[in-house]
A and B are shown apart, each in its own frame.
Chain A
Amino acid sequence: MHRYVGQRLVQLVPVLFTVSVLVFALMHIIPGDPAQLLLGFENTDPQQLERVRREFGLDQPVYIQYGRWVGKILRGDLGISVRTGQPITKLVGEAIPFTLELAAYALLLAIGIAVPVGVWAATTRSRLADTALQALTLFGLSLPAFWIGTMLILLFSVQLRWFPLLSYPHLWQDPLGNLRGFLLPALTLAIPNAAAIARMVRASMLSVRGEDYVRTARGKGLHENQVIRRHMLKNALIPIVTLIGIIAGYLLGGSIVVEQVFAIPGLGRMGLQAIVQRDYPVLQAVVLIVTTLFVLTNLLVDLLYSFLDPRVRYA
């Protein structure tokens, strides 16, 4: 196990290196003078431009620029926002908790909805129930998240006024208010993913139902609920966990849209605002941070996967 973890950590190095090179290249691929991008577009004073060029080493060869950039990041310095003049590290630090909480909340909701629904669809003898659940999950997969969110706002915040609009107190200051405020956004993000997981649970359960060990469990007189929970679900878990892992990573990126719909000041909204304001150093930082989180999530999932299925680590 330790060897496998070590191997995976070593494999992480080239991936993160390539990601960093591509994100660094972003400032040079975006049309326009990098010094102008760093200074913001209003300021066209040639002396200022020259100062920025020297300060950021833009007159140096590209590989030296890259080295300096990576060095700064490793010391926790993501640069300065050209709009507000604030350190980006501070802005990211303020935004990250919102995005992470939204993703975690959505993942828990999605699993909580999907597993019972999927198990029920796979084990019911009722044609109507299975068809209805199949149709329901297919609908869930076909809805755009931004529209689900808007409809939830329309129904629960505008019409029924059950949920406060755009109120996101900190988790540790007002835990209940926080969970309430985040419920609609998390549900929005959860619905399409719950549909995908439920379908996987159903398919995976159906694929193990004919196995010998299921027949044996029934044969030795176990209660059907126990057969389902202890023998079928446990063996059906691996593809389900893989999908949940993929979704966990996806939620980080997918939260961009939901943050925009619900005006949550997370990383995604920060990135979108940076695009509108042409604050490219902030955009660069957001792409770097979200991608790194995504890569690390995928690593965690692989490790979890190898823990569940010993065949993976000895392959």
Chain B
Amino acid sequence: MRDGTVAAIPFAAQRHRKPAFMRFPKAMLGLAIVTLVGLLAALAPWIAPYPVTEMHPEDRFSAPSTKYPLGTDFYGRDLLSRILVGYRVSLLIASLSVGFALTAGGTLGILAGFHGGTVDTVIMRTMDVLFAFPVLLLAITIVVILGPGVLTTVLAIGIVYIPIFARITRGPTLVVREHTYIEAARAVGAPSRRILLRHVLPNVSTPILVQASINLATAILFESALSFLGLGTQPPYPSLGMMVSEGRTYLELSPWPTVFPGLAIMLVVLGFNLVGDGLQEILDPRLRPTWTGS
């Protein structure tokens, strides 16, 4: 709140006696899920019961048991271990691609909104062209051009999301630009760069944050869809989408190799969706439900 910026989050000033998890159950539940999955993924190499590629041919298609908590796949590989390592890949790709889109798109949006005129037109028309392609098709085309791999997946998802972040930052920037404190900063001779970083950015960060948490959820779905189609992470790296695609071949022999990776994807996506949803509800009281009697 330095340099005369206004508080972006109005509820911060309110004082409630209830703890945070009771006031914002959705956001807190989401945060708990995301943190849990994040920890599991980070600690995967140490807590996974078996090495990911270790085969136990005698235990092919085991149902969940004490030996294999979530069962095994066609090669007798432990599903829990593979899911934990799959989470690492999912979370890594999702956070890198959203981080890339947020940085690139956010910068473009702020520049377009702040400078206006030709800069605005050029940037936003380019974004419109990106928007003219269906997202999955655009990502697939990028994978075909660059060849599949972790970095390609990050770039493909990142590029597809750039226009979303550009649009979401441009709007608030247009509003913030007209405020008195920007005029004041200009009057004391602050350079554009400083004004953008110190005065504009903090005031447009709220919608970006909500968008980022929603996009982390969709990025994980996106990555899993690409790897399901065989265009994402390549073997021997386990990836949750690829596991579902492999499991499908033996669906009639054992459902577990297909069921559990899908549930694992759902859990982490649900976590990010809860965070995004919770944040949005905190920021827009109109979305609060009927039974609160407002």
On whether the two chains bind one another, the answer is yes
B224:A253 contact, CB within 8 angstroms: no
Instruction: Give the distance in Å from the alpha carbon of A224 to the alpha carbon of B81 in the complex.
Output: 54
* Given A29-B145, A138-B274, A151-B262: A249 in contact with B134 (beta carbons within 8 A): yes
Instruction: Give the distance in Å from the alpha carbon of A289 to the alpha carbon of B141 in the complex.
Output: 14
Q: Please give the distance in Å from B256's CB to the nearest CB on chain A.
A: 11
> What are 13 sample pairs from A and B whose C-beta atoms fall under 8 A apart?
A22-B129, A30-B145, A31-B147, A126-B291, A142-B221, A143-B265, A150-B248, A151-B258, A158-B251, A256-B229, A271-B137, A290-B137, A294-B134
Kindly report which residue of chain A lies nearest to residue B267, judged by CB atoms.
A142
Residues of A within 8 A of B255 (CB): 154
B231:A275 contact, CB within 8 angstroms: yes
A144:B228 contact, CB within 8 angstroms: yes
A19:B132 contact, CB within 8 angstroms: yes
Residues of B within 8 A of A15 (CB): 128-129, 132
Q: Please give the distance in Å from B92's CB to the nearest CB on chain A.
A: 18
User: Is B196 located at the chain interface by the 8 A CB criterion?
Assistant: no
Kindly report which residue of chain B lies nearest to residue A19, judged by CB atoms.
B132
Among candidates A143, A261, A291, residue contacting B266 with C-beta atoms closer than 8 Å: A143
Instruction: Give the distance in Å from the alpha carbon of A288 to the alpha carbon of B237 in the complex.
Output: 33
A139:B290 contact, CB within 8 angstroms: no
Instruction: Give the distance in Å from the alpha carbon of A146 to the alpha carbon of B231 in the complex.
Output: 14
Q: Please give the distance in Å from B220's CB to the nearest CB on chain A.
A: 9
User: Is B8 located at the chain interface by the 8 A CB criterion?
Assistant: no
Instruction: Give the distance in Å from the alpha carbon of A252 to the alpha carbon of B248 in the complex.
Output: 24
B270:A256 contact, CB within 8 angstroms: no
Kindly report which residue of chain B lies nearest to residue A130, judged by CB atoms.
B289
Instruction: Give the distance in Å from the alpha carbon of A287 to the alpha carbon of B214 in the complex.
Output: 27
Interface size counted on chain B using CB atoms at 8 A: 45
Main secondary structure of the interface of A (DSSP, over half): helix
Residues of A within 8 A of B144 (CB): 30, 275, 283
B258:A291 contact, CB within 8 angstroms: no
* Given A144-B221, A147-B262, A257-B225: A271 in contact with B291 (beta carbons within 8 A): no
- A254-280 interface bits toward B, Cβ cutoff 8 Å, 1 = contact, 0 = none: 101100110000000001100110000
B133:A145 contact, CB within 8 angstroms: no
Q: Please give the distance in Å from B81's CB to the nearest CB on chain A.
A: 20
* Given A142-B266, A256-B136: A150 in contact with B258 (beta carbons within 8 A): yes
- B270-294 interface bits toward A, Cβ cutoff 8 Å, 1 = contact, 0 = none: 1001100100000000111111000
